Amino acid sequence: MRKIISSLEYLIWQRECLCCGREIPDAAQKFCQSCWSNLQRNVSSVYCRRCGANTGVYLSAGGLKNCESCKNEGFAFDTIIRVGAYDGLLRKIILELKNNDSQHINMLRGIIRSALEQAGIKGQIDYLVPVPLHWTKRLVRGFNQSKTISELLTDFAAVNDCLVRTRATKKQVGLSPEARRKNVAGAFAIRKDHEIQGKTVCLVDDIKTTGATLNECAAVLKSAGAAKVYAAVLAVAGNSDSI
């Protein structure tokens, strides 16, 4: 019975754009034309390679080391790779990730892969390292979305669960940048018997806001001897976004 209800819901759901609710003439499509165009505009290679913020084409092409918004910030990761800004359809798809729905996950496959390809890291990394959840949170949620994203990328590198969250942290939502940094300080460690000395790794997470979590993870990887740490995320949010 539950199966029948969920397939009915699926049919109803398919007639409306998942993002804006507008009716779609073609039931096989999940988003209206306007939302797809929005996604195409959002998914571009023009962003600051240091913090992931939107930048002008000039900065991106000029290979400058930082943009205006990150010039006073220090990051332990070397370069960030992102799909887009945390906005519009991309935001909607990411929010749906918490349901672990395979259709949504498959929508992300192409766009995250092309972000990594455009960044030219194919063949450059030894491991993909998902940002871990504390085991208590994983138990409640049933999965780690960062690992789900990593598993879309296994032909770039093997997924390595070398990082562990050693204590449960408060949600970062609503915390100031400084409070976010403190909240995750010392919360990660490398598992025993995971050798990352001299390796180039790519941290994987869903969203970067201030970068506090990625920074903490990258610092742990670096102090365990990682030669280079990339960070790959689906979206970069403004520091003030309430996520």
The residues that touch Zn ion, with contacts defined as CB under 5 A, are: 17, 19-20, 22, 32, 35, 48, 50-51, 53, 66-67, 70
Cβ 71 to Zn ion shortest distance, Å: 7
Residue 222 buriedness (CB in 10 A; 0-12 / 13-18 / 19+):
middle
Query: Nearer Cβ to Zn ion, position 94 or 196?
Result: 94
Cβ 115 to Zn ion shortest distance, Å: 16
Do the Cβ atoms of 52 and 208 come closer than 8 Å? yes
Cβ 36 to Zn ion shortest distance, Å: 8
Query: Nearer Cβ to Zn ion, position 70 or 85?
Result: 70
What contacts 30, CB < 8 A, 6 or more positions away?
Answer: 14, 17, 18, 24, 103, 107
Do the Cβ atoms of 42 and 84 come closer than 8 Å? yes
The overall longest dimension of the chain from CA atoms, in Å, is 58
Query: Nearer Cβ to Zn ion, position 44 or 66?
Result: 66
Query: Nearer Cβ to Zn ion, position 20 or 224?
Result: 20
Cβ 207 to Zn ion shortest distance, Å: 16
The neighbouring-strand residues paired with 159 are: 128
